[in-house]
Chain A
Amino acid sequence: MIIAIASGKGGTGKTTVAASLAAVWDRPLAIADLDVEAPNLHLFLHPSFSATTAAKMEVPEIDESSCNRCRACVAICQFKAIGLLGDAILTFPEMCHGCGACMAVCPQEAIRSGCRTLGAIGWGHTPEGPFLNGRLSIGEAMSPPLIRLVRRKIGILAQAENRDVILDAPPGVSCPAVNAVMAADVVVLVTEPTPFGLFDLELALDAFQSHDRRLGVVVNRAGIGNHDVYRLCERRKIPILAEIPYQDAIAEAYARGDIIARVHPEIQSRFIKLGQRLRISNNPSRCAPVREAHHA
């Protein structure tokens, strides 16, 4: 089972939830931090890193002598990564999303596959299982190909040893977040019961809801704000899988870099239950609805 921990709003507690869920998970596990612009899951899970490899993406390289300037590649590129200026055919590798359409349409087979380094992948190990993180280079804008690469690598590691996967996704609902969650069986949306949490949760539901992907919500900082997040989940029939109370002890543990599931047995049991609900929800029937009554 592949579980992606995502959110519309940043700073709601994705990494907090991912680290705690990993710490209580009772099946073989593999973990990846896909927030490649600001990876921080390693600060909580403390993997020992054994290798760093360059992360590259495929970009077009045009052989000008065999190119007949037919414009097929220019026309199909949705990202303006190839331009025909007068007689000059130019590539802009930093614009390329790596879709490969230009190579597929070129009737002259004049486009070969070049590569461009986007960042690095850190290969590590934690007591919970293998750990990968993607690290986008400073100034680099093209994160989705790196996210897909890390996602594929952790998928291969997990499949070989029949491990479940926890993915710590980047915030938001645009390409990076979509690329992080698209192969997940279950997406856990972490939110907070505030107007900001509400607004971005609704965007995330719109972006990620799909017939073949189950969604559930974790309400972090429960107790602050208002009830609108709960009402939204009720209206959209999205189960609330866990609530994490707004408590000084939790904030302090987070600030120390501790895993909050280890702060107190009561908090730990919430994550154990979250794990159980995720496994039930992976049953093709339906998500197990779990709502404590006091916020309805």
Chain B
Amino acid sequence: MSTIAVSSEGPDLDARVDPRFGRAAVFIVLDPHTMVFDYIDNGASQIRAQGAGIQAAEIVADAGAKTVLTGFVGPKAFKALRAAGVGVVQKVDGLTVREAAIRFASGMLPLDQAPSHRQARR
């Protein structure tokens, strides 16, 4: 199964999904079949005055992710992810990274075609 990136509040599978994409603390990059994972610190995007979402899109694309699981992706980041051929699943905040990955692997999480209109919960 192809690689996914999950926005996360911490560096392991039991951390909660960060509802924010661009300003997520960490991206967990994993194979949802084997659950072998790595993490990428997203601190450099978090401190940007602007363009955090675009930078985060570059990071997950460069990490080889084919799908992003997160809470909310803004319109510019959505456009960037689409250009990179990365699929987007939103509104998976409230779960742990592991739970989100399992649900995705079991086909319970369809890809979104547009940015969610709901703002990320804080």
Chain B residue at smallest Cβ distance from A86: B84
Residues of B contacting A: mostly: helix
Q: Which residues of chain B have C-beta atoms less than 8 A from A86's C-beta?
A: 61, 83-85
Q: Which residues of chain A have C-beta atoms less than 8 A from B51's C-beta?
A: 79-81, 92, 95
Q: Is there a chain A Cβ closer than 8 Å to B57's Cβ?
A: yes
Distance A83 CA – B79 CA, assembled complex (angstroms): 11
Chain B residue at smallest Cβ distance from A81: B51
Q: Is there a chain A Cβ closer than 8 Å to B76's Cβ?
A: yes
Q: Which residues of chain A have C-beta atoms less than 8 A from B79's C-beta?
A: 90, 92
Contact A83 B54, CB 8 Å, known A90-B79, A90-B80 = yes
Do the beta carbons of A85 and B83 come within 8 Å of each other?
Answer: yes
Do the beta carbons of A83 and B50 come within 8 Å of each other?
Answer: no
Q: Is there a chain B Cβ closer than 8 Å to A138's Cβ?
A: no
Contact for A85 among B50, B52, B58, CB less than 8 A:
B58
Q: Is there a chain B Cβ closer than 8 Å to A70's Cβ?
A: no
Give A116 Cβ to nearest chain B Cβ, in Å: 15
Chain B residue at smallest Cβ distance from A77: B51
Chain A residue at smallest Cβ distance from B76: A92
Q: Which residues of chain B have C-beta atoms less than 8 A from A95's C-beta?
A: 50-51, 54, 76
Do the beta carbons of A80 and B85 come within 8 Å of each other?
Answer: no
Q: Is there a chain A Cβ closer than 8 Å to B81's Cβ?
A: yes
Encode A245-288 as 1/0 by CB contact (under 8 A) with B.
00000000000000000000000000000000000000000000
Distance A84 CA – B83 CA, assembled complex (angstroms): 9
Q: Is there a chain B Cβ closer than 8 Å to A88's Cβ?
A: yes
Q: Which residues of chain B have C-beta atoms less than 8 A from A81's C-beta?
A: 51
Find residues 12-58 in chain B having any chain A CB closer than 8 Å to their own CB.
Answer: 48, 50-52, 54-55, 57-58
Interface residues on B, range: 10 to 19
Encode A131-169 as 1/0 by CB contact (under 8 A) with B.
000000000000000000000000000000000000000
- Interface residues of A, count at CB 8 A: 12
Q: Which residues of chain A have C-beta atoms less than 8 A from B84's C-beta?
A: 85-86, 88
Do the beta carbons of B80 and A85 come within 8 Å of each other?
Answer: yes
Find residues 160-197 in chain A having any chain B CB closer than 8 Å to their own CB.
Answer: none
Q: Which residues of chain B have C-beta atoms less than 8 A from A92's C-beta?
A: 51, 54, 76, 79
Do the beta carbons of B50 and A80 come within 8 Å of each other?
Answer: yes
Q: Which residues of chain B have C-beta atoms less than 8 A from A85's C-beta?
A: 57-58, 61, 80-81, 83-84
Encode A10-49 as 1/0 by CB contact (under 8 A) with B.
0000000000000000000000000000000000000000
Chain B residue at smallest Cβ distance from A89: B83
Do the beta carbons of A83 and B85 come within 8 Å of each other?
Answer: no
Distance A92 CA – B51 CA, assembled complex (angstroms): 9
Distance A130 CA – B45 CA, assembled complex (angstroms): 45
Residues of A in contact with B (beta carbons under 8 Å apart): 79-81, 83-86, 88, 90, 92, 94-95
Q: What are 25 inter-chain pairs, A to B, with CB distance below 8 A?
A: A79-B51, A80-B50, A80-B55, A83-B55, A83-B57, A83-B80, A83-B83, A84-B58, A85-B57, A85-B61, A85-B80, A85-B81, A85-B84, A86-B84, A88-B84, A90-B79, A90-B80, A90-B83, A92-B76, A92-B79, A94-B76, A95-B50, A95-B51, A95-B54, A95-B76
Given contacts A83-B54, A88-B83, 13 further A-B contacts (CB under 8 A): A79-B51, A80-B51, A81-B51, A83-B80, A83-B83, A85-B58, A85-B80, A85-B83, A92-B76, A94-B76, A95-B51, A95-B54, A95-B76
